[in-house]
């Protein structure tokens, strides 16, 4: 019985951990995308000035 409980708790922990990593990765990806867009806008505006 103890083994089953340990197995279930391990499963739950790994699921929560993976979910948190996934959420953090999505946040990083969207942040990187925003920075990329801003950098592109900056490049375009400097080209127009030249």
Task: Give the pLDDT confidence score for residue 50 in this predicted structure.
Answer: 60
**pLDDT by residue (tens digit) across 1-50?**
789 999 999 999 999 998 899 989 998 899 888 888 888 888 887 777 66
Task: Give the pLDDT confidence score for residue 1 in this predicted structure.
Answer: 76
What DSSP string runs through 27-44? HHHHHHHHHHHHHHHHHH
40: nearest Cα among 48, 7, 15, 29: 48
């Amino acid at each position: 019985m103890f083994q089953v409980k340990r197995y279930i708790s391990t499963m739950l922990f790994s699921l929560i951990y993976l979910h948190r990593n996934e959420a953090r990765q999505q946040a990083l990806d969207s942040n990187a995308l925003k920075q990329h867009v801003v950098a592109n806008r900056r490049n375009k505006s400097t080209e127009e000035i030249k």
